[in-house]
């Protein structure tokens, strides 16, 4: 074969979500003389330009919500019929991977990976039923099963509990090393005093991330720490609801809506505590990044235990009482624990991206019939 082995990644878009950030971390760290990534997407994404600059191709077909089921399936079939040269399709669309992998199988693509990044589907009951039906194709048409955690694997492919591979959500740990200078600089740019207590959250503005509960928690936090601030990084479908609630609670001057950012390592330096009350998750990349930066994390007990890397930074709570969460956040502000990076511990647990890239690269080469 001439040139690198080309792997086709199927995603909805390449924006700054957890799975997409992980894929890009992987892409930047594989040996691109051996492996090249191409992408089948449905919408434009912020990473598209970088993908093209690294030699990747970005294809686009309308998503099922734009075109309807039959047109979407027809587009998938048409695409794979005309791109039979791919040896590997790696789908990151959770239950919707069933439709992608069925079309790939029918076009004769030999290696078809279903990759689970979550533990539940989003959407109303009708959408969830549709996704469940699509997901029934996964056991039949996937040849390989990857997951970010055992909980994510149990959700997407419960009958393949002995055959899946855990692909750890590795990060470029050196980028998240704690720096006091960076901390001061970022806080100054946010017009925050050094004594201000900064709560942070990074994630899409959707139901899964549970921002409305987080705002209640922060409102309680302010009652006991008047110089507290909340940093929200991300955008999404619930943005207007979140903005309405911020106004309703009268905390506009304390909540900083930063939108989508590309300076996450620097923002983490400025944060005092990371709040993550998700309703469900696979294994969040942001929690690996936060631990690497030495940030204490108060998280939902819906999130897999595997995310706790033994740094002493994770505190888990049920999503019930905002006052309990506020007390947990405030206890971190009263702790005089010296902030230090945890890059060595992150690497020891296999969450360094170089380690993940090496393992994944070897897997691709085997699946593509090439020696490592």
The whole-number pLDDT of residue 206 equals 94
Question: Hey, what domains does the chain have and what are their CATH numbers?
Answer: 5-170+352-367 (3.40.50.2000), 173-348 (3.40.50.2000)
Tens of pLDDT, residues 17-52: 889 999 999 999 999 999 999 999 999 999 999 999
Those residues whose C-beta lies under 8 Å from the C-beta of residue 26, and which sit 6 or more positions away, are 170, 353, 356, 357, 360
* Gap between the Cα atoms of 145 and 90, Å rounded: 10
The whole-number pLDDT of residue 372 equals 46
Cα Rg of the chain (Å, integer): 21
Question: 152 is written with which tokens?
Answer: 């994510």
What's phi and psi for 224, nearest 5 deg? -110, -10
Q: How many CB atoms lie within 10 A of CB 58?
A: 18
Three-class SS of residue 83?
A: coil
Three-class SS of residue 370?
A: coil
Enumerate residue ranges in the chain where pLDDT < 70: 1, 161, 334-337, 371-372
The whole-number pLDDT of residue 2 equals 76
Asked if residue 301 lies in contact with residue 307, where contact means CB atoms within 8 angstroms, the answer is no
The whole-number pLDDT of residue 122 equals 87
Asked if residue 284 lies in contact with residue 224, where contact means CB atoms within 8 angstroms, the answer is no
Entry pTM: 0.90
The whole-number pLDDT of residue 336 equals 59
């Amino acid at each position: 074969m001439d040139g690198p082995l080309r792997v086709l990644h199927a995603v909805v878009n390449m924006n700054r979500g957890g799975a997409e950030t992980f894929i890009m971390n992987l892409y930047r760290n594989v040996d691109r003389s051996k492996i090249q990534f191409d992408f089948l997407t449905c919408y434009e994404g912020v990473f598209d330009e970088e993908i093209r600059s690294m030699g990747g191709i970005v294809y686009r077909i309308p998503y099922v919500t734009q075109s309807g089921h039959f047109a979407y399936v027809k587009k998938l079939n048409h695409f794979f019929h005309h791109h039979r040269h791919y040896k590997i399709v790696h789908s990151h669309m959770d239950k919707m991977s069933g439709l992608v992998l069925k079309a790939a199988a029918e076009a004769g693509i030999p290696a078809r990976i279903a990759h689970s990044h979550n533990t539940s589907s989003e959407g109303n009951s009708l959408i969830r039923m549709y996704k469940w039906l699509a997901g029934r194709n996964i056991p039949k048409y996937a040849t390989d099963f990857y997951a970010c955690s055992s909980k994510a694997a149990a959700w997407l492919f419960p009958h393949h509990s002995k055959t899946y591979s855990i692909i750890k959500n590795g990060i470029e740990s050196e980028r998240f090393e704690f720096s006091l200078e960076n901390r001061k600089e970022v806080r100054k740019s946010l017009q925050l005093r050094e004594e201000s207590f900064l709560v942070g959250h990074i994630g899409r503005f959707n139901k899964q991330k549970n921002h409305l509960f987080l705002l209640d928690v922060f409102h309680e936090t302010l009652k006991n720490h008047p110089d507290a601030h909340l940093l929200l990084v991300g955008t999404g479908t619930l943005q207007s609801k979140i903005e309405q609630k911020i106004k309703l609670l009268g905390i506009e001057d304390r909540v900083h809506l930063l939108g989508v950012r590309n300076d996450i390592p620097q923002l983490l330096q400025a944060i005092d505590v990371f709040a993550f009350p998700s309703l469900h998750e696979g294994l969040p990349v942001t929690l690996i990044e936060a631990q690497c930066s030495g940030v204490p994390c108060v998280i939902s007990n819906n999130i897999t235990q595997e995310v706790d890397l033994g740094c002493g930074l994770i505190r888990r709570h049920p999503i019930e009482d905002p006052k309990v969460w506020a007390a947990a956040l405030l206890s971190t502000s009263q702790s005089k624990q010296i902030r230090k990076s945890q890059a060595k511990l992150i690497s020891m647990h296999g969450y360094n991206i170089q380690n993940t890239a090496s393992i994944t690269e070897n897997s691709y080469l085997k699946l593509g019939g090439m020696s490592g």
